[in-house]
């Protein structure tokens, strides 16, 4: 499985089959889990800055204050500060800059 984030706020999940990437999920119509958010339930699309895939969740950071957890199999997003599942979780994203030989 491979997850990707874009500057327009979309997250895609792909599966590698027959040496090709096959789209399994696109976050275009994802809603926030209303039990973890006081808003209307619409996911605000912000530039995805970092993400990590830990099936079935994709933890990601965008230009907002909260870390989000997208359960791509259910199509639900939980906010880090509002969700009991993420209340005590601290996620660190590491970027390794490739070196040229």
**pLDDT by residue (tens digit) across 59-95?**
888 877 778 888 889 888 877 655 555 554 544 444 4
pTM over 0.85? The answer is no
Domain 2-79 class in CATH: mainly beta
Domains of the chain, by residue range, sit at: 2-79
User: How does the average pLDDT of the chain come out, rounded?
Assistant: 74
**pLDDT beyond 80 at 24:** yes
**E strands in 18-62:** 20-26, 31-32, 50-54, 57-61
Alpha-carbon gap, residue 66 to 64, rounded angstroms: 6
């Amino acid at each position: 499985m491979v997850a990707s984030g874009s500057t327009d706020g979309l997250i895609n999940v792909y599966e590698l089959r027959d040496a090709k990437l096959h789209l399994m999920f696109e976050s275009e119509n994802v809603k926030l889990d209303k039990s973890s958010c006081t808003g209307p339930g619409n996911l605000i699309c912000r530039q995805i800055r970092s993400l990590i895939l830990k099936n079935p969740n994709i933890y990601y950071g965008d230009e907002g204050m909260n870390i989000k957890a997208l359960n791509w199999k259910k199509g639900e997003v939980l906010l880090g500060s509002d969700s009991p599942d993420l209340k005590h979780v601290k996620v660190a994203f590491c970027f390794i800059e490739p070196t040229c030989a």
